[in-house]
Structure 1
Amino acid sequence: MKKFEEKTIETESIYKGKIVDLRVDTVTLPNGKTSKRELIDHPGAVAVIALTKEGKLVMVEQYRKPMEKSLVEIPAGKLEEGEQPKITALRELEEETGYTTEHLEYITSFYTSPGFANELVHIYFTDNIRPLKEAVGTDEDEFVELMEITLEEAVQLEKEERIHDVKTSYALLFLKLKEAQK
């Protein structure tokens, strides 16, 4: 066994949902003892850092039930089964913002909460967007408001905790570093 590896002895499925599945794994620890791990399986997600021709950041505001408040975020969404992340990124950009692009640049990916979830978020960048001829529209249970804001306005929203999620904070850091390199 590798130095920190935990070997799964048993898996108990707790819940299978539309977005996540929950399970409890019984594991053997590196010291030979056993423990339980409560885990969330997630298919993964994408997010898009999109800039208008004027250099404004395309954002969406939507209500987030776990926090019981609205957050301002970069466009994002869940990977569908068998879907490539770049395809998901384009779909989510179109659905949530009404914009499309011919070029999405892969930036990075990261685990959101590796202590209990396997959600991997892929981040893409585009500064070459154009409005769609016909609106695609969001999912029937999704309500978002489009915003186009400057980086300075986004930083202020972050201070106010209206931007308060890791993918959007990462996007702001990315844009600040990009700006500093000019």
Structure 2
Amino acid sequence: MKKFEEKTIDSNPIFKGKVISLKVDDVTLPNGNQSKREIVNHPGAVAIIAITKDGKMVLVEQYRKPLERSIIEIPAGKLEPGEEPAVTARRELEEETGYGCNELNYLQTFATSPGFADEVIHLFVAKDLYKIEEKAELDEDEFVELLEVTVEEAEQMVANEQIYDAKTAFAVLWMKMNK
């Protein structure tokens, strides 16, 4: 038995969309009581800490409707069914930044919002970047602006909340620790 495990008694699907699905599970708690859990299912994603030859971070600025604002992030994207995370990472790096890489290393996987979602992000570090001749197309509903910033500039972006998401804040901290 897993420590503090909650056993599912019943699961009721509520919504199935293109990216996420939502369900409500009835669970038995470790103390024997029952409760409900609202759970968002997500296929998972990748994120890439892309580092230029001069040690800058490659970031993208894009509008995030749930936040009703633009934020600056590391390149990232959703896993396609059956796609290996490293393949997704290379594709998303090319689509969002116009860069390819000769070196792509897996760093770690982490949960984004474990209180209500099963999404995990597979984090990679991309080095030895090169410009793609024929840049891959962004998704039709995706609009991004490319930035290349120093670690110090990225730290300032965290401080003034231009960088506002956990994966990118983590990337800035990783860059600072691995300079």
Cα gap change, 1:2 to 1:106, in 2 (>3 Å) = closer
RMSD: 0.9
The Cα offsets for residues 48-93 of structure 1, whole Å up to 9 and x where unpaired, read as: 0011112111100000111111000000000111101000000000
The question of whether the paired residues in 1 share the 8 Å contact of 2:102 and 2:127 is answered with no
Identify unmatched segments of 5+ residues in structure 1.
none
Identity over aligned pairs, percent: 58
The question of whether the paired residues in 2 share the 8 Å contact of 1:98 and 1:137 is answered with no
* Matched residue type, 1:55: G
Aligned residue number for residue 64 of structure 1 = 64
Q: How far apart are 1:102 and its partner, in Å?
A: 2.2
Aligned residue number for residue 162 of structure 2 = 162
Query: 1:51, 1:136 → 2: CA distance?
Result: 19
Query: 2:90, 2:31 → 1: CA distance?
Result: 46
* Matched residue type, 1:103: E
Q: How far apart are 1:2 and its partner, in Å?
A: 4.3
* Matched residue type, 1:89: A
Aligned residue number for residue 52 of structure 1 = 52
Aligned residue number for residue 14 of structure 1 = 14
The question of whether the paired residues in 1 share the 8 Å contact of 2:47 and 2:167 is answered with yes
* Matched residue type, 1:18: K
The 3-state SS of whatever aligns with 1:128 is: strand
Q: How far apart are 1:32 and its partner, in Å?
A: 1.5
The Cα offsets for residues 13-65 of structure 1, whole Å up to 9 and x where unpaired, read as: 00001111000000111121111000000111100001111211110000011
Aligned residue number for residue 145 of structure 1 = 145
Query: 1:2, 1:99 → 2: CA distance?
Result: 43
Query: 2:154, 2:5 → 1: CA distance?
Result: 40
Query: 2:37, 2:109 → 1: CA distance?
Result: 24
Query: 1:3, 1:11 → 2: CA distance?
Result: 21
Query: 2:71, 2:63 → 1: CA distance?
Result: 6
Query: 2:3, 2:143 → 1: CA distance?
Result: 46
Equivalent residues, number: 179
The question of whether the paired residues in 1 share the 8 Å contact of 2:64 and 2:71 is answered with yes
Query: 2:79, 2:36 → 1: CA distance?
Result: 28
The 3-state SS of whatever aligns with 1:103 is: strand
The question of whether the paired residues in 1 share the 8 Å contact of 2:71 and 2:162 is answered with yes
Query: 1:101, 1:17 → 2: CA distance?
Result: 33
Query: 1:152, 1:102 → 2: CA distance?
Result: 26
Aligned residue number for residue 172 of structure 1 = 172
1:111 pairs with 2:111: yes
Judging by fraction of residues, say which structure has more strand.
2
Q: Which runs of 4 or more aligned residues in structure 1 lie more than 6 Å from their structure 2 counterparts after TM superposition?
A: none
Query: 2:56, 2:3 → 1: CA distance?
Result: 47
The 3-state SS of whatever aligns with 2:103 is: coil
